[in-house]
Amino acid sequence: MRGPLIAILLSLPTLASCSHSTPGSAESSHITHSSQKSTVPVMESITMSDQVVRSEEEWKQLLTPEQYRVLREKGTEAPYQNEFDEHFEAGTYSCAACGLELFDSETKFNSGCGWPAFYAAQAGDRVELTPDYSLGRTRTEVTCARCGSHLGHIFDDAPQTPTGQRYCINSVSLKFKPAEQNDEE
């Protein structure tokens, strides 16, 4: 009993500091910061105060039904029929749920698996890796470190890449920003 109580008490400062705005609005961020204006560089570490905390009802309002199925219910989109499998434009790929930049197009490669594949995350703390024992086998799930949304899985089956790894990511879990747009900001 003591362990769950401690976990609840430790989470209270984070939950209490969440900002709330109208669910479903484009401006609704629910990202907490220790100061009003963030001057944190993009590659800064993700901290507990940066976590996105939303109810499942809020996620349902903000995401399309397919995004909700994949990002929040750990679904998988159809292979070879998704937006970013054969997409190789220069830019960055962000979490479709919270906007955290996750992958750079320089690490994207054509693995032939039917989903977008990357050999590295933009920064190691941008994604979390968790054992996944579903489907009767052991895999490693990839989730967004800021909002906990399901992105896909990582496999050690890409010897042609510098890391030997293949982040197999659902297109619907990603938003793409072209490099020209990144340069303008």
What distance in Å separates the CA atoms of residue 161 and residue 107, rounded to the nearest whole number? 9
Task: Place 73 in a pLDDT band, splitting at 50, 70 and 90.
Answer: very high
Is residue 153 domain-resident?
A: yes
- Give the least confident one: 34-38, 43-47, 75-79, 146-150: 34-38
- Residues sharing a CB contact under 8 Å with residue 169, sequence separation 6 or more, in sequence order: 93, 103, 115, 116, 117, 118, 142, 151, 152
Where in the sequence is the domain holding 176, given as residue range(s)? 52-184
Is residue 28 domain-resident?
A: no
What distance in Å separates the CA atoms of residue 132 and residue 19, rounded to the nearest whole number? 32
Task: Kindly state the tokens that stand for 159.
Answer: 């010897």
Residue 76 has φ and ψ, to the nearest 5°, of: -135, 135
Is residue 130 domain-resident?
A: yes
pLDDT tens digits, one per residue of 123-174: 878 999 999 999 899 999 999 999 999 999 999 999 999 999 999 999 999 9
Neighbouring CB atoms inside 10 A of 37's CB total: 5
Is residue 87 domain-resident?
A: yes
Helix or strand run (H / E) with residue 5: helix 2-16
Catalytically active residues are 168
pTM summary value:
0.73
Is residue 66 domain-resident?
A: yes
Is residue 78 domain-resident?
A: yes
Residue 98 has φ and ψ, to the nearest 5°, of: -125, -10
Helix (H, G, I), strand (E, B) or coil at 53: coil
- Residues sharing a CB contact under 8 Å with residue 9, sequence separation 6 or more, in sequence order: none
Output the pLDDT for position 124: 77
The pLDDT of residue 5 is above 80: no
The pLDDT of residue 49 is above 70: no
| Average pLDDT of the chain, as a whole number | 79
Q: How many domains does the chain have?
A: 1
Neighbouring CB atoms inside 10 A of 60's CB total: 16
Is residue 178 domain-resident?
A: yes
Strands 150-155 and 139-144: antiparallel
Residue 153 sits in a domain whose CATH number is 2.170.150.20
Q: Which residue has the tokens 């989730």?
A: 143
Is residue 4 domain-resident?
A: no
When pLDDT is averaged across residues 81-93 and rounded to a whole number, the result is 96
